[in-house]
Structure 1
């Protein structure tokens, strides 16, 4: 889970002593195919004629997106600009549409947004730019303002149409260029309606523009981003995608104090990295007010570009191979004492898991005991399992979403206070039916590596349970310096069974602190 801010988040920064900070004009996440020429400069100059003065980063996006191969065709079939709101992505859209109409000769440009009102507002802005520029206005045949039919048509036949991505809008149109605004809300249905419109077009292009991913609705954006990250990892550009993302690389909860490998969300430099318009049309004072008002997670998403990007199921079993996992299935396996239980909860608290680990011959048997919606059932179930199995310990990551259950778990595991229990004093002194262990950050990384190594060595057995297999299929790594742990925020599946199994296996060899015996006063003083 991402740890966004260390220390009190509601403490205002002293902006008086902050030096002049300007937004980064180049994206942190970037890939683009090579090009020999570009129509970007012509697009920038045309926009200026219409009174639209573009920042350096906006010009960069147009130069890259309108890059051309030696034969004059587009170097990038898809162009994506992922940047926080109020930075000026609308200017890129308007410049691209002006270029398509008046420079590039594109017969039909389709502009769509998730919400119709957003599409209409974009229509009004481009109409104002065109009608207020004599050299452009005289080339216009008609401006159609009928609701649902908004369009600009030139005397030479080029058209720019505005649509909402609903009800199959866009089907039947053959667009030379598709402009997909609000791409963080763009799923398979919309792509199915719009992409086939380009099949019969020579040298088409599609532009995606929006802000950080918001989870399940961001299916298409997540696909584009994965392609970009994969290209960066292998050091080779994606052959048909130009992807530009302004964002920070946030701290994770396992980061040690003073970590310099990730960006501090309270730093003005982080705001600058994710907001190219900072110092131009966006001020630190405004972003600081946003930070004080928003939750940490929302501020990180809306202003710092920290998105939630779902998996689409096409890139499964990336960490542990499916064949390797299935080969360890043993339907007759069972655990011998001592057993260890562990609890994990999803970041959204939508599901929780209780898992167990115990020896099974020379291997360790891992098993999902319960995986259910919500968290209200966990503590009572933990008491039942403890009374039945007498486990070696329970393992809970105190820094995870499951950490909020620790106090209730310990209360539920206290021994009944009867008979000699009166001498135990306060309730906190009552012995637990089973110890509760909370691993440190380095131990969590060790636990993940140990599980991985055990699978590779064939030292794990399991019952091939669906919740655990699903978690492994969607599992991703989260780098922790030179080690790694399971990533929670970059997957679209419930990985709580996998995290709990990892912790339970680790708990079999974890050191358990024995409670100190209270020494009677006369034992010390004779």
Structure 2
């Protein structure tokens, strides 16, 4: 491999070298050859084939002329020094030249990154072939609300930092670029997308490197992570109306540049390595980063952060898996919850002294609520307490179970906070076992805390919109019911 940067172009197609390349299936034609390709020769710029492919896909249209990635936009998870920023910049400059009056808003998380990016694009527009097409006076503005580059035809690319409030208050924006997307909260995205112009483009780019644990812990990686999950999940609940591209090395790749195989893995993660980027540029990054940052920012590998950041650590929860009581043993309590799509989840808790065992009894979409109430009542009888959160969709069963003379508690928000705190304390104190059921394990992985009240109480919340935490809520309610009921509550034989 070369030891210095070189100017050769990588001719490899995107679909052959990206780890993940999700493309809309309904692309009929593209505006790339209308908006970008004609401008590139005059700009004196040649894109790598993978960079051009991204733009061809990003500007792909359906037969009716609408943008194929109009819902989810274009998401790029690509390591540093790979040319993703430069490739997007070049395309934006070309579009601004070809389409008068185009407004692009480019936001970064940090002001420093925003300034660096503006300096890079200033170097492009100051090229002799492009400078005459820029605004005669002050084509590049480094201060005030107009910070960015301004074209003679009225087009402009504006830059700013989201941490300083940039991106809100704009109107009729044609293209939005969210740089450092590993620091983009869903709430901030919602505010900024409202400025998207309903035009013949309406394009959004989401670019970044895999988030660090602290970013995931703060929930600032929500928008980026959700796009990746939706794009690469095997069975999508609905079509992915967007583009997702990821370059990354294999999990387990060496992090030391002296290790065997490092440069081969690096070439997998960085499509510009050996072409526009040489070893020295990568070595400079590696020598100034922790091994963990090399993993994400140089090799592009995503952490399995959900498991490591679970409220109850995955290692702790796994160690608590155990066989439950003998078949036929009546539980001390039953908990019921429902997923957002209405599927009911029933769990039970067996308590002896200060120790408890929890497990799911059923996850089912009963034919009707009457059938569900019959099933639950048949297992609870009149003495085993049933706890249902009053704010849950499952609360509709409370009157039906009361009609069957079951002992039902419609829990309050305060009860939920006590239940979550109790389950958490029991797990960390090794006073709890569980059946190791996948639905509960997955729910714990996909759950985070949400505040309840002002005194530090909390309840379960979904870490991302696609997570189903109902099994975890059900076992929490069952555990809470057992901890607050007389120990002699359950006596009937449990079947």
Normalising by structure 2, what TM-score?
A: 0.56
Using the alignment, how far apart are the partners of 1:310 and 1:170 within structure 2?
30
| 1:32 matched residue in structure 2 | 23
Matched, 1:97 2:92: yes
SS in 2 for 1:184: helix
**1:24 touches 1:272 (CA, 8 Å); kept in 2?**
no
| 2:226 matched residue in structure 1 | 223
SS in 2 for 1:250: coil
**1:61 touches 1:81 (CA, 8 Å); kept in 2?**
no
1:191 deviates by: 1.6
**1:144 touches 1:152 (CA, 8 Å); kept in 2?**
yes
| 1:470 matched residue in structure 2 | 460
| 1:157 matched residue in structure 2 | 154
| 2:447 matched residue in structure 1 | none
Equivalent residue runs for 1:329-408 within 5 Å: 329=347, 334-336=350-352, 381=429
Using the alignment, how far apart are the partners of 2:102 and 2:288 within structure 1?
46
Using the alignment, how far apart are the partners of 2:158 and 2:301 within structure 1?
32
How big is the alpha-carbon RMSD for the aligned residues of Structure 1 and Structure 2? 5.1
User: Please, which moves more after superposition, 151-160 or 290-299?
Assistant: 290-299
| 2:374 matched residue in structure 1 | none
1:83 deviates by: 0.2
| 1:145 matched residue in structure 2 | 141
Gaps of 5+ in 2: 4-9, 254-258, 308-337, 359-378, 385-418, 442-456, 479-495
1:334 deviates by: 3.5
| 1:62 matched residue in structure 2 | 55
Equivalent residue runs for 1:355-504 within 5 Å: 381=429, 447-448=436-437, 470=460
Residues 113, 476 of structure 1: alpha-carbon distance in 2 compared, 3 angstrom cutoff: closer
| 2:445 matched residue in structure 1 | none
Equivalent residue runs for 1:265-280 within 5 Å: 268-280=263-275
User: Please, which moves more after superposition, 43-52 or 152-161?
Assistant: 43-52
1:206-265 per-residue CA deviation (whole Å, 9 max, x = no partner) reads: 1122211331211111222122124x54598623x111111245269xxxxxxxxxxx99
Residues 238, 87 of structure 1: alpha-carbon distance in 2 compared, 3 angstrom cutoff: same
**2:266 touches 2:299 (CA, 8 Å); kept in 1?**
yes
Matched, 1:50 2:43: yes
Residues 269, 164 of structure 1: alpha-carbon distance in 2 compared, 3 angstrom cutoff: same
Gaps of 5+ in 1: 1-14, 16-21, 253-263, 312-319, 343-359, 386-393, 396-443, 453-466, 478-489, 502-526
1:98-134 per-residue CA deviation (whole Å, 9 max, x = no partner) reads: 1221123353121221122222222222222222233
1:402-425 per-residue CA deviation (whole Å, 9 max, x = no partner) reads: xxxxxxxxxxxxxxxxxxxxxxxx
**2:175 touches 2:201 (CA, 8 Å); kept in 1?**
no
1:171 deviates by: 0.9
| 2:243 matched residue in structure 1 | 242
Residues 93, 170 of structure 1: alpha-carbon distance in 2 compared, 3 angstrom cutoff: farther
Residues 178, 450 of structure 1: alpha-carbon distance in 2 compared, 3 angstrom cutoff: closer
Using the alignment, how far apart are the partners of 1:186 and 1:176 within structure 2?
20
SS in 2 for 1:226: helix
Using the alignment, how far apart are the partners of 2:68 and 2:439 within structure 1?
45
- 118, 139, 148: which one aligns with 2:113: 118
1:328 deviates by: 2.6
Residues 295, 140 of structure 1: alpha-carbon distance in 2 compared, 3 angstrom cutoff: closer
Equivalent residue runs for 1:128-139 within 5 Å: 128-139=123-134
Equivalent residue runs for 1:187-336 within 5 Å: 187-214=185-212, 215=216, 216-230=219-233, 233-234=235-236, 238-239=240-241, 241-248=242-249, 250=251, 268-283=263-278, 287=282, 294-308=289-303, 327-329=345-347, 334-336=350-352
Residues 267, 125 of structure 1: alpha-carbon distance in 2 compared, 3 angstrom cutoff: closer
SS in 1 for 2:92: helix
Using the alignment, how far apart are the partners of 2:350 and 2:230 within structure 1?
42
| 1:74 matched residue in structure 2 | 67
1:335-356 per-residue CA deviation (whole Å, 9 max, x = no partner) reads: 35997889xxxxxxxxxxxxxx
Normalising by structure 1, what TM-score?
A: 0.53
1:195 deviates by: 0.9
1:86 deviates by: 1.1
Using the alignment, how far apart are the partners of 2:248 and 2:207 within structure 1?
14
Using the alignment, how far apart are the partners of 2:220 and 2:341 within structure 1?
31
**2:109 touches 2:179 (CA, 8 Å); kept in 1?**
yes
SS in 1 for 2:45: coil
Report the number of matched residues: 351
1:450 deviates by: 10
Residues 136, 229 of structure 1: alpha-carbon distance in 2 compared, 3 angstrom cutoff: same
1:386-435 per-residue CA deviation (whole Å, 9 max, x = no partner) reads: xxxxxxxx99xxxxxxxxxxxxxxxxxxxxxxxxxxxxxxxxxxxxxxxx
**1:474 touches 1:491 (CA, 8 Å); kept in 2?**
no
1:178 deviates by: 1.1
Residues 369, 51 of structure 1: alpha-carbon distance in 2 compared, 3 angstrom cutoff: same
| 2:483 matched residue in structure 1 | none
| 1:431 matched residue in structure 2 | none
